[in-house]
Amino acid sequence: MAAQKPHYEKARAHVLIEGRVQGVFFRANTCQKAEELGLTGWVKNTRDGQVEAVFEGPKEDVEKIIEWCRKGPPGAVVTHVEVAWEEPNDEFRNFSIRYW
């Protein structure tokens, strides 16, 4: 009998990150971290200076990347992270950087 994969709760979070988060490689580092965790979704800069992202995958890993976003990469100064939990819908095949 083949071993079954452990069951995990899937989650999706829509996140807005405020502070000095543009021009510090926040998107590239977020993409790298999401890929390391096996998450799908996207990250982009917003016109008003924030970084916006959608993360989907195992809830434990989505929570890990949200915690990472509270600090961000070296050079970032995160002042606020807003998280909206949504229903996961498996619409993404990978994690990508979006441009506007």
Concerning whether 45 is annotated as a catalytic residue, the answer is: yes
Q: Which residue of the set 20, 27, 29, 93 is catalytic?
A: 27
Q: Which residue has the tokens 């965790």?
A: 37
Q: Which residue of the set 20, 45, 93, 98 is catalytic?
A: 45
Alpha-carbon distance of 69 to 50, in angstroms, equals 12
Q: Which of 39, 80, 44 is nearest to 62 (CA)?
A: 39
17 bridge partner residues: 51, 81
**Residues tagged active-site:** 27, 45
